[in-house]
Amino acid sequence: MRRIDRIYIFIALMASSSLLMGCGDSDTAYDIVPVEGKVTFVDGSPIPGAFVQFVPQTPPVDAKTVPRPGIAGLAEDGTIEQVTTYDYGDGLVQGKHKVIVSSKTGGGQRTNAVDPKYSSASSTPLVVDTADMPFDIKVEKP
């Protein structure tokens, strides 16, 4: 997948996240931490065209103050790039997160490069804690 395609996917995810979670602003009740690490297949090979979403497991402060998920693209080697939660590249809400990994590959016929179990917070086995950085997230090949 071309880098420009990943950027468009990233922008679309950010827009949909903003619509679902409400417009963000850097003033938040949650501490935000910068993110470092990689997401690769178990054998260490990069996941083509991948992007990740970090779904916080931190409880809401109240009905109107809910932690937002972070979204990031991956460099060609799997390095996590510019995790965005409230402002571009700001990082993640401090604490534990379920990790959703998505990837589309192929030309005319697009296929998932990762197992569908990684595609939702309810089924992903991946959980990270911001206290354990840098992340070394491993995904099984389909």
- What is residue 3's predicted lDDT score, i.e. its pLDDT? 52
- Tell me what pLDDT residue 103 has: 87
What is the pLDDT, as a whole number, of residue 89?
Answer: 95
Tokens coding 70: 């972070």
Spell out the residues 6+ positions from residue 87 whose beta carbon is closer than 8 angstroms to its own: 24, 26
Query: What is the per-residue pLDDT for 25?
Result: 45
pLDDT of residue 49: 87
Buried b (16+ CB within 10 A) or exposed e, 77-99: ebbbeebbbbeeebbbbbbbbbb
pLDDT at 19: 42
Query: Cα–Cα distance between 139 and 100 in angstroms, integer?
Result: 10
Note the pLDDT of residue 104: 72
The number of domains in the chain is 1
Owning domain of residue 93: 3-21+29-139
User: In the prediction, which pLDDT does 29 show?
Assistant: 86
68: CATH: 2.60.40
Q: What angle do CA 117, 137, 67 make, to 5 degrees?
A: 75
| Number of C-beta neighbours around residue 15 at 10 A | 10
* Positions of the chain with pLDDT under 70: 1-27, 105-111
pTM (global) more than 0.75? yes
| DSSP 8-state class, residue 8 | H
